[in-house]
Amino acid sequence: MRWALRHLNEFGDTDLFPRPFELGIMAENQAKVIAHVRALDLPQYKWSEPRRALVLKDELAFRSATQLDPLDAVVFAALIRHDCKRLDARRGDDHESRVFSYGVEPRADGQLSGKDRYREFWQRNAELAAEHAVVLTTDISISTIRSITIRSSRAEDAGVSSDAFHAYVNLLRKSSVTTSRGIPIGPHGAHLLAEVAFASWMISWCKRGLRSRGSSMTSTCFAPPRRKPGWPSIRWCRFSIL
């Protein structure tokens, strides 16, 4: 809990919305906030309606971004801190070269991410693209709730406790209302959930002889170097999973 409050106070809850003034107030009343959150019944916790807005996805498209209620942000950050090592292990990135653009390394100052591998990640993607006949890039950010709720039907599949699992699922359902719109884009810890949701998919690609790399927003599949009959002649294919 103390780490969650420090994380939010130092780094904010998201880089897509203005910083809520309530974060500073909660940091000044840490003992009361911690006592309140510890008394919560996680599986039955009622997440508040999040703030939503359209943000630029690229030059021609938008995506829906989410900002949690300040108290919800504390609960979510505390859950992620408690489960981050288990979730990180589920990503299946043993050699830090196949999946994901950063490592999980929670620090005392509230930082969640370890070494920034963003540049190395995309440089390696560019190298692999030059070696393969077909590269398929998918936008996965809007479809991850379906994978979380279906692929991880049991708590142990997600690597977290039953109480935490139900809390995550309830949050995803609340942020998505009645449609599957994916992990809420915005909260820092949501990136880790998104990557866990699609880890099994990308690992499955690798087992079928396809190179697969991904981050919380995109998944890229590299076909074998030799071109097979019937394969597209284009080098890059791109689509969004809707």
pLDDT at residue 44 is higher than 70? yes
Predicted local distance difference test score (pLDDT) of residue 104: 79
Predicted local distance difference test score (pLDDT) of residue 236: 39
Predicted local distance difference test score (pLDDT) of residue 232: 45
The pLDDT-based confidence of 216 (bands split at 50, 70, 90) is: low
Strand-strand pairing, 135-139 and 236-240: parallel
The pLDDT-based confidence of 21 (bands split at 50, 70, 90) is: very high
Predicted local distance difference test score (pLDDT) of residue 116: 64
The residue type of 121 is F
Cα gap 195→152, rounded to integer Å: 13
**What is the overall mean pLDDT for the chain?**
74
Q: What tens digit of pLDDT does each residue of 45-100 get?
A: 999 988 888 877 767 777 777 889 999 999 999 999 999 888 887 776 554 445 55
pLDDT at residue 25 is higher than 90? yes
Asked if 101 and 123 count as a contact pair (C-beta separation under 8 A), the reply is: no
Which has the higher per-residue pLDDT, 199 or 74?
Answer: 74
The residue type of 77 is A
What is the phi-psi region of residue 110: left when phi exceeds 0, alpha when psi lies from -120 to 50, beta otherwise?
A: left
For residue 142, give its domain range. 2-240
Considering its fold, how many domains does the chain have in total? 1
The arithmetic mean of pLDDT across residues 137-158, rounded, is 54
Asked if 47 and 166 count as a contact pair (C-beta separation under 8 A), the reply is: no
The arithmetic mean of pLDDT across residues 209-238, rounded, is 57
Predicted local distance difference test score (pLDDT) of residue 65: 79
Predicted local distance difference test score (pLDDT) of residue 92: 63
| CA-closest candidate to residue 166, choices 57, 40, 70 | 40
Q: What is the pTM of this model?
A: 0.76
